[in-house]
Structure 1
Amino acid sequence: MSVGQLKRLGARCGTQIKRLLPPPVFAVLLCALLAGFLCFVPPINGLADNGDFYRVMYTNGIYKLLGTDYHYFDYVTQKFGLMKYYNEYRSVNFSSQPLFVRLAVLLNKLFYSKTVFDIRWMGVVNYAFYLGSIYLLTDALTYPVKRWRNYVIAGLVVLVFGDSSFTLYFNSFFAEPQMLSLTLYAFAAILLLARQRYRRRWPLVLLYVVSSVLLITSKSQNAPLALSLIVVAIGLFFLPRFKAQRVALIGAMLVLLVTGGLTYILIGKEFVDINSYQTFSHGVLTQTDDPSKALAKSGVDQQYALMQNQDYYAKQFATIRANGPYVKHNLLNQVDFGWVVKYYATHLKQFGRLLDLAAADVMITQVKAVGDYVQASGAPPGKQVTFFTLYSQVAGAFFPQKFAFNCLLALALIMVYAVGFYNDLKAGAFEGILRFFLVLGYLTMFIFVPVISIIGDGDADLAKHLFMVPVSIDLIFLLFVSDCLNHRLWHAYRKGGA
């Protein structure tokens, strides 16, 4: 066979591979294998209960099975009971998470048991939504270029979002797995609009709005994300032939704003008390040389300095019962949101240290406070999974640990994408414009979520509270790499330039 024939054969094989296994399918298959092995092959992996599961479990008819060992922090619990009769428990928060949990319960009852709930059904629901978001994200990052370099981009998507620190959440009652998928759906929807992937626009606009509403309402702390998602939506006003839909778009933005407001207003009193307490014990009392003196100046009894770094649900002996009437009456009623903001405004050096502490944890996406194995695996209590965690470990170890660096990085990225915004605005294109507002909106999450987390909950459970920070910067990182590889960083896609 001649060299020319070999080249033609190779070209035909390459064309068949691209047709049968395009980059989005390639990414989905790899993520499906990695996450499926982790979550569904016995002995399964997931995240143990840190004390927060009860808020989701009981309101959705799930309870701890009687006569079985239930492990907090150390081991993943696989089997739970399902209530048969009237459920008197009510949710303490306004949340979209029960939609996903009830779907898992329904599937469990249809295909497994009406009395016993297996956490893997929660994993199945999270897994299905996740794979759909991986497909759309990879498609948005690689369309319309048909080059081998797009398999590099697909591989990066797998490396970043196939990381076990993200997929471990699937087998748990945490809201983070839904937040991950919804964030990816919202990001991909705008990017697909920018790149004119489909002839009809309204399904992608609807996907963005629905994903955003569900994301905002998935956790009470996500209420401020409404503002970031509205920033992203501003870019849609620049779409051509979209004037008739602008009234609907304004209405959609108002829906996002109202959703954020309701999510904040409807936070339950118990949840407010927990956050206020941990803001005080894990924030106000930390990163300061003399907490007693700082409290005295702020009008709070110095004895509460003894509560430094104490959790609301203490694992061991606590100096005082956090949920007792004494603390509620004498401390929590005084230390509200306004008091905390005023305190940090007069203690900027301490607040800066706390922000640097948050910056140090920004890329540490694996929850360290709980174990990842079931007891039947024989793993020691609290053991962490290391399977396919290369990206999260490297990012956590080498990402600069200063909040000032995060601000400079955000400013640099805004300037880079502002060039594409200007060039496309001048050229009458809209890809760079939508992309600019997309990056701008997600960068506001990257910068302001740590601020909100410190003010709202101190340094407690930072890996969970900062979850949106690594997700947002990872998405922008993937977008930047794909734009560089496909020569579209400074302008809209040009067929001859890729």
Structure 2
Amino acid sequence: MKLRIRLEWLIVLVAAAVLVPLLFFSPIGVANNGDFYRMMLAGGIDFADPDESNRDKYFGYFHAIYHYGPYSAKHYLSSQIFFVFMAGLIGRVVNSRVFDIRLLALLYSALYVAALYVIVKYNKRRSILFNAVLVASLSLVFLDIGYVAYFNSFFGEAVTVIFMLLTFGLALALSRSDKPSVWLLTAFFLSAVCLVGTKLQNAPIGLLLVLLGLRFWKLRADRMWRWTVGIWSAVLLLASVTMYAAAPNELKHINLYQTVFFGVLKDSPDPAADLRELGLPEEFKVNAGTNYFQTDTVMKQDDPRIVAALEGISHKDVLLYYVKHPDRFIQKLKRGAENGMSIRPLYLGSYEKEAGKPYGAVSYTYSAWSTFKLKVMPHNLWFDVGFAAVYLLVLMVEYVRHRRLKERMVVETLLILALVGMFGFAVPLVGDGEADLGKHLFLFNVSFDMMMIASVLYIVRLFVKTAGLSRRG
């Protein structure tokens, strides 16, 4: 008897074959850089060894085992809190004394596999070659250790990549469905809210996703559908605004400090003039080029004079500065491009201390794509601009060529993806300076890789159509 497996279930099997050994047996993760604790508190999770040295606790080793502690969100708003909280609850049922972070990885993995399933189900074609490239490209790129290692951590990047894939997968599903359901529409908006709510950096893309969501208005004419579109669009917009409005003042101060001192003033030919233009005292020039976490600054980063002065400006002032000085902004964009192909921070270790690896050792198991990007792909702004230009040109041609609503909505979805990538590239530079660019450009990395896969599949589809290789069934 011939066994046939649907393509969407094949990607599930492939994902399981990669994720299980990487994340659950001799697990690989990402070490703590000091950002974990506020998210751990949301799940009532604490460090296993309170006497562990800072050297062992941070940067060098990934930790799989934690203990339980008090619950506290500390006024920090993120959709990630829900998943950490749920993992903490499950952990207490499984083992009331020890929390294993692999429970969180299991929750993330289930959502991730669901996203891959949706993408394959609604984008497969009647072509063996196209379908093979679809599964192979998703497996190569998005099962790479650079992405999935985040699942064994408390970093928000795990939630970002999951809901980027799921949001755009569901958007394409709605665009390609003959009779899109209200449930599918609701799933799209819920996924978009989770994506926007992951971290402050993601909030601006909520406006783009609202525009995409409103386009689904035309897919059905019934009242239930249009009420659903309207209400969820309002919810998504509110979530985007709330993410910024609810950000803790301390976080806003840190971001503004990084934006000004490690952004505008870094490599500035005249820091005093830049400070004057921003409406800040010239005396702050002694801190030009410093980041918030340095310990050797002339003036302390939380000096009352700096805190008070930064309260008088906003990121809008910084954006206006770059509008007036495009050469300086291009300088920052070039710096971003130099760091934009790194999916994960390689200064954070991948192994538990018990694994016996050197301090800070990084795993390169199943890392072909992330290694290729890091070592082979060009790290310059003009490559990024050229790729985006060709991508957008092809979308424009396809939009003009197609007349049907659904076909045009597929193109619009891929356009929004490109705009998300652009936001993901520019927003960290305006909002956080040059601080930890390899990590802060993560959203750009995900968008770029999705665009790259879409481009490869487009070329394969043209080849299949030209060569007459498509088949029925």
Q: TM-score, normalised by structure 1?
A: 0.86
Q: CA deviation at 1:146?
A: 5.1
1:134 correspondence with 2:116: yes
The one of 441, 446, 452 equivalent to 1:466 is 441
For 2:422, give the aligned amino acid.
Answer: I
1:106 correspondence with 2:89: yes
For 1:109, give the aligned amino acid.
Answer: R
Deviates further, 349-358 or 479-488: 479-488
Q: CA RMSD in A?
A: 2.9
For 2:186, give the aligned amino acid.
Answer: L
The one of 393, 398, 402 equivalent to 1:424 is 402
Q: Deviations over 1:18-44 (max 9, x none)?
A: x22x332222222222222222122x2
For 1:78, give the aligned amino acid.
Answer: A
The one of 27, 41, 48 equivalent to 2:25 is 41
1:178 correspondence with 2:159: yes
What are the within-5 Å matches in structure 2 for residues 352-363 of structure 1? 352-363=330-341
Distance 1:393 1:332 in 2: 40
Q: Name the structure 1 match of 2:416.
A: 441
The one of 196, 220, 244 equivalent to 1:216 is 196
1:327 correspondence with 2:306: yes
Question: Retained in 2: the 8 A contact 1:362–1:396?
Answer: no
Distance verdict in 2 for CA 1:309–1:236, change over 3 Å: same
Q: Name the structure 1 match of 2:255.
A: 275
Q: Name the structure 2 match of 1:7.
A: none
Distance 2:298 2:31 in 1: 26
**Which residues of structure 2 form unaligned runs of 5+?**
none
The one of 350, 358, 365 equivalent to 2:343 is 365
Question: Retained in 2: the 8 A contact 1:414–1:436?
Answer: no
Q: Which structure 1 residue ranges, 4+ long, deviate > 6 Å from structure 2?
A: 494-498
Distance verdict in 2 for CA 1:317–1:123, change over 3 Å: farther
Tell me the SS of whatever aligns to 1:218.
coil
Q: Name the structure 2 match of 1:32.
A: 16
What are the within-5 Å matches in structure 2 for residues 141-180 of structure 1? 141-142=123-124, 144-145=125-126, 147-180=128-161
Q: Deviations over 1:297-330 (max 9, x none)?
A: 544344433434433233x54444323434323x
Distance 2:256 2:269 in 1: 22
Deviates further, 28-37 or 118-127: 28-37
1:381 correspondence with 2:367: no
Question: Retained in 2: the 8 A contact 1:53–1:174?
Answer: yes
- Identity in percent: 26
Q: CA deviation at 1:272?
A: 0.5
Distance 2:360 2:260 in 1: 27
Q: CA deviation at 1:431?
A: 3.3
Deviates further, 99-108 or 475-484: 475-484
Distance 1:448 1:395 in 2: 20
For 1:60, give the aligned amino acid.
Answer: G
1:79 correspondence with 2:61: no
Distance 1:489 1:342 in 2: 48
Distance verdict in 2 for CA 1:58–1:248, change over 3 Å: closer
Distance verdict in 2 for CA 1:420–1:344, change over 3 Å: closer
Q: CA deviation at 1:292?
A: 4.3
Distance verdict in 2 for CA 1:30–1:477, change over 3 Å: same
For 2:392, give the aligned amino acid.
Answer: I
1:310 correspondence with 2:293: no
Distance 2:133 2:418 in 1: 24
Distance 1:497 1:480 in 2: 24
Q: Name the structure 1 match of 2:107.
A: 125
Tell me the SS of whatever aligns to 1:137.
helix
1:96 correspondence with 2:71: no
1:481 correspondence with 2:461: no
Question: Retained in 1: the 8 A contact 2:76–2:247?
Answer: yes
Distance 2:58 2:435 in 1: 17
For 2:307, give the aligned amino acid.
Answer: K
Distance verdict in 2 for CA 1:349–1:165, change over 3 Å: same
Q: Deviations over 1:153-203 (max 9, x none)?
A: 20110001011110110111111111111111111112122322x755222
Tell me the SS of whatever aligns to 1:486.
helix
Tell me the SS of whatever aligns to 1:281.
helix
Distance 2:127 2:323 in 1: 53
Distance 2:31 2:289 in 1: 22
Question: Retained in 1: the 8 A contact 2:421–2:448?
Answer: yes
Q: Name the structure 2 match of 1:336.
A: 314
Tell me the SS of whatever aligns to 1:294.
helix
Distance 1:100 1:31 in 2: 21
Distance 1:64 1:273 in 2: 27
Q: CA deviation at 1:336?
A: 2.9
Distance verdict in 2 for CA 1:313–1:62, change over 3 Å: farther
Distance verdict in 2 for CA 1:350–1:107, change over 3 Å: same
Aligned length: 469
Tell me the SS of whatever aligns to 1:63.
strand
Question: Retained in 2: the 8 A contact 1:281–1:309?
Answer: yes
Distance verdict in 2 for CA 1:485–1:299, change over 3 Å: closer
Tell me the SS of whatever aligns to 2:66.
strand
Distance 2:472 2:463 in 1: 8
Q: TM-score, normalised by structure 2?
A: 0.90
Distance 1:338 1:477 in 2: 32
Tell me the SS of whatever aligns to 2:58.
coil
Question: Retained in 1: the 8 A contact 2:138–2:453?
Answer: yes
Tell me the SS of whatever aligns to 2:34.
coil
For 2:149, give the aligned amino acid.
Answer: L
Distance 1:406 1:145 in 2: 32
Structure (1 or 2) with the larger CA radius of gyration? 1
Tell me the SS of whatever aligns to 2:67.
strand
Q: CA deviation at 1:405?
A: 4.5
Question: Retained in 2: the 8 A contact 1:120–1:171?
Answer: yes
Q: Name the structure 1 match of 2:175.
A: 194
Q: Deviations over 1:242-277 (max 9, x none)?
A: 676234323322222121111111111111111111
Tell me the SS of whatever aligns to 1:322.
coil
Q: Deviations over 1:204-249 (max 9, x none)?
A: 2111111001111111221101112123224423426567623432
